[in-house]
Amino acid sequence: MLDVFLILMGILCLITGLAGCFLPVIPGPPVAYAGLLLLHFTDKVQYSATQLLLWLLIVVIVQVLDYFVPMLGSKYSGGTRWGTRGCLAGTLIGLFFMPWGIVLGPFLGAFIGELFGGRETRQALKSGLGSLFGFLFGTVLKCVLCGYFAWEFASALL
């Protein structure tokens, strides 16, 4: 009976984790990882300590990258320190204006930061778009990881 409860809670965590890839309020990969942990505590599946620790490390890396990839996108699209700092400020401010703030915050922050730094509108827009593409890349990374966790969960039960 406990196994059924843990499996159902694990499925709920995986679904919530996948939703968290798109809803910035929910930390998708950690919640999906919790679903795998719940499955591990059943009699059905026993993951090795190496697997669990490796997955945890990947979750931490993806979560950290999720905050820094937009800034890297801004930097590698020709942005200056003004754009990178603006992107960081926009990301932090955007957290208060969910859900659109988390998408538009880095873009607008990089754009406005570049304008304050004396860049032309075209260059500032390029930096802002770089941060937006960085955000989208981070979202794809989270989706891939949560999808992998869902696949691991399903294949372990079948």
**Which pLDDT tens digit goes with each residue over 39-79?**
999 988 889 999 999 999 999 999 998 878 877 787 778 77
Residue 100 has pLDDT above 90, yes or no: no
Each residue's pLDDT tens digit, 115-145:
988 888 888 888 888 888 888 898 899 999 9
Residue 18 has pLDDT above 90, yes or no: yes
What is the pLDDT at residue 61?
95
What is the pLDDT at residue 129?
87
What is the pLDDT at residue 98?
75
Distance CA 92, CA 110 (A): 12
